[in-house]
Each structure stands twice: as C-alpha cells, then as structure tokens.
Amino acid sequence: MVIVVQQLAINNRRLKDDFNELANIGTTVGGGISRLALSNEDLEGRAWFANRIEEAGLLVRDDEVGNLSGVLPAHQRDARTLLMGSHLDTVLNGGKYDGTIGVLAALECLRTIKEAGLELPVHLEVINFTDEEGTWQSFFGSLGFTGALQAKHLNDAEVDNGAFRAALFRAGIRPSEVHRAKRRPADLVGYLELHIEQSETLALAEKQIGIVTKIVGRSTYNFNFHGEATHAATTSRYKQRDALQGASRFITAMHDMTHADYPEGVVNCGDIHVKPGAYNVVPELASLQVECRHHDESILSEMESRLIRLAQDCAKAHHLTVIVQSVLRRPVAIMNPHMVDTIQAVCDEQQRTQMPIISYAGHDTQILSPFVPSAMIFVPSQGGISHSPREYTEWKDIEAGANVLLHIILKLAAEA
C-alpha cells in the first residue's frame, strides 16, 4: 500500500482548543490541575474525552479496568491495532501537560488521518490509561491491559483498600472483572506514547524531540532498623541502641555511595517513621522507604545488593538489627529498536532536532514494552519541572511532537 501523505499535518488549532478545554477540568487555585484517578474530576475528564471521540466519528471503547479508547477502524475487521496514548489523570495539584498531551495528540492524529480519508491496513486506537500516577495503584490501567494486574494490586496494604474498591465501583470497575481487560499481543502492532520529558535535558540541549531508548528500572525497599527504647538521658551513650542514628548513617552513606560509584543511578529515602516517637526516649524503630533507579539492569541489581550490605553495616555500627523487605521491582524497559529507528527517520524527514534520551520517570510504556513493541517520544519541559502547576512546554514543541507522532503512525501502519 502506498500512502502519499508527506504534507499531512495535524490541525494545530483544534489540538490547542482541546488542550485548553481539558485544562478547565480539575483546575486548582494556583493554576494547577487535580484529576486524581477515579475522582469526580477524573470521571469528568473521561466523559469529556468520550465526547471528543464520538464527535470525531471514532468508536468509543472501554474495558474492565476503566481504560477509555477511541478507535479508527480499518476496513479489514481482523486487522491488527496500532495503539497510542498516555493518561489523563494527574497527581494532586499537578500540571496541564503530563499525560494529557500524549492522549490529545494521539486523538488529533486519528482525526487528521480520518479527515484525509486514508485507508490504513491497521486499526488505530488512542487510549487513556487508568491511574498512571498511582493515586490508588500505579499503572492500574496498563497492568490490566497487559494482564499483569495481580490480586495484591487490589489489596495493597499501603492504601485504604475499602476506599479503593469503593472508588473502582463508583467508576464502574468491578474488581472481580479486571482480568477481562487483558488484550492479546498478537492483535497489536505496537504502542507509542508522546510525553513531556519532565527533566531539562532537551531544553538545555535545545532539541525539539527526545527519542527514548530505555526507561530506568526501579526498586523500592523497606529498611526497618530495630534498637531499644530506653531513657534518652540516663542510658549511657555506649549502651544506647538508637535505631534512628543507624538509619541516619545509612541515608547519608547510600547517597555518598550512589554519588561516587553510580553517577547514572538515583537513590532516595522519602519516608521515615520512628517509634516510639518521643523526644526523651531512644528510638527503638526507624522504618525507611528507599528507592533506587538505574538504566542498566545488572548495575541496578548491584546497587540493590550494596544498599542491603550498607544497611547491615550501619546497623552493626549502632548495635541494631535491620530487616529488609522488597516492596517493588520493575525491570529496565528497552524501547523497540525498529520503532526507535522509525522515530529517527521521521525526525530527519521533518528536519526536527532530536537526541536519544533515557527516561528516569516511569510511564505506561514500561508496562507495555514487554508485551508489545513500544516506543516513546519526549518533548521539552521548560526548567525540567513537572508534577507542579509550573509545568510548562512551549506550544510549538507540542505541535512538533504531534506531527512527528502522526508520521510515525503512518510509517508503522504502512509496513504492518
């Protein structure tokens, strides 16, 4: 099939109007957006999206985990589907761009292709994945889509399970039915996601497009340092078994280690609980939640074992014991090489400046990538700020990203 569409471009005005309209749903006082997954605002955002899909003459499709899609069907009913999209949910008081531009740009590409009357040999589907941001369960929609949702995801001790279930029911999602959302990889050509970079690599390098090569792997642990609660003033300093001192030593040491030995790795302790929690009692328990990320699977594993050894050494130095619990492990996601080459080719054709880039943030693409060939395109984030009302991407960059996406879709569809 020959598609003569070199000049085809998205309708920039229509995309911008969509963006501005959607930004009115869940607006916060400071100009941010709160569309927490399954909240009233999120449901309102989905209803708005379903209306846009119908208005464009596309088919509305929803599944058992609440993913909402618009489909431009191919003539052949048994054709495979090329999938693209992102998420319309946000963090609390987040920005207008994260997730949103990926869904809206994909919708605009489908409208453009439909209007041009192109007959493609694949179905095109734009998808909004449920709860990418993890208000209840990170990647709930994409995990359901790939059949990777497990009972523990619905019974997570970290969240109020009753409230989660109530929120699911309210959104029409029945926990006993979520397994039905699983799609068959054989039915899919691949998945494409356009997203803001969320760091400032592209902006500093003055490049328009980031071609994601991998998404970092990630590991989260609970480190529980156990000591003894005694009188803080009368217990001899040498006899104190202060859980917090051991934990503090560990936090400093793990940052030093990462800085010195793993400059491309990331480590963070963002949550500490101390017991009994009184100013005059030596802490008997310090619980830390620690996360590490790296783009190389074997280095990530090495970082994990060294963190555990370091925690044991720090515990020993303060006469403590430490119990280590793995909470989450997501492997490094490698983007599909052919799709990466296709993005590169489209950038060359459109004379867009581009660079390869590693994503340090998580995306639905990392859940999709072991399931179907997947790739991601980044556009610059000014100041590298995201999850904030100050999140900002220049409109010309969004327009460029959407036009790159359009022609990647056309190339991949033509060869399918």
Q: Which residues bind Zn ion (CB under 5 A)?
A: 98-99
Shortest Cβ distance from residue 362 to Zn ion (Å)? 8
Name the residue among 270, 309, 276, 277 with its Cα closest to residue 292.
270
Q: Which residue is associated with the tokens 């590298």?
A: 384
Take residue 52 and report the two structure tokens written for it: 């846009």
Instruction: Give the DSSP letter of residue 27.
Output: B
Q: Side by side, which strands form the sheet with 321-330?
A: 266-275, 285-294, 217-226, 321-330
Shortest Cβ distance from residue 133 to Zn ion (Å)? 7
Shortest Cβ distance from residue 195 to Zn ion (Å)? 6
Give whichever of 98 and 197 is closer to Zn ion, judged by the CB atom.
Answer: 98
Give whichever of 142 and 208 is closer to Zn ion, judged by the CB atom.
Answer: 142
Give whichever of 244 and 376 is closer to Zn ion, judged by the CB atom.
Answer: 376
Distance (Å, whole) CA 317 – CA 315:
5
Shortest Cβ distance from residue 394 to Zn ion (Å)? 18
Give whichever of 37 and 79 is closer to Zn ion, judged by the CB atom.
Answer: 37
Give whichever of 64 and 98 is closer to Zn ion, judged by the CB atom.
Answer: 98
- Residue type (1 letter), 151: A
Q: Which residue is associated with the tokens 């039905």?
A: 180
Give whichever of 74 and 209 is closer to Zn ion, judged by the CB atom.
Answer: 209
Q: How many CB atoms lie within 10 A of CB 256?
A: 11
Most distant CA pair in the chain, distance: 85
Give whichever of 41 and 98 is closer to Zn ion, judged by the CB atom.
Answer: 98
Give whichever of 99 and 380 is closer to Zn ion, judged by the CB atom.
Answer: 99
User: Residue 171 in contact with residue 64, Cβ under 8 Å?
Assistant: no
Distance (Å, whole) CA 42 – CA 37:
6
Separation of first and last alpha carbons in the chain: 10
The percent of the chain in helix, strand and coil, each rounded to the nearest 5, is 40, 25, 40
Shortest Cβ distance from residue 363 to Zn ion (Å)? 6
The reply to whether omega before 175 is within 30° of 0 (cis) is no
The burial of 172, by beta-carbon neighbours within 10 Å (0-12 exposed, 13-18 middle, 19 or more buried), is given as exposed
Shortest Cβ distance from residue 196 to Zn ion (Å)? 8
Distance (Å, whole) CA 305 – CA 315:
15
Distance (Å, whole) CA 106 – CA 312:
49
User: Residue 5 in contact with residue 109, Cβ under 8 Å?
Assistant: no
SS3 134: coil
Residue with the shortest CB distance to Zn ion: 99
Q: Cα angle at 35 between 31 and 39, to 5 degrees?
A: 140
Shortest Cβ distance from residue 411 to Zn ion (Å)? 25
CA atoms within 13 A of residue 305's CA, in its CB half-sphere: 5
Shortest Cβ distance from residue 386 to Zn ion (Å)? 8
Shortest Cβ distance from residue 39 to Zn ion (Å)? 17
Shortest Cβ distance from residue 132 to Zn ion (Å)? 6
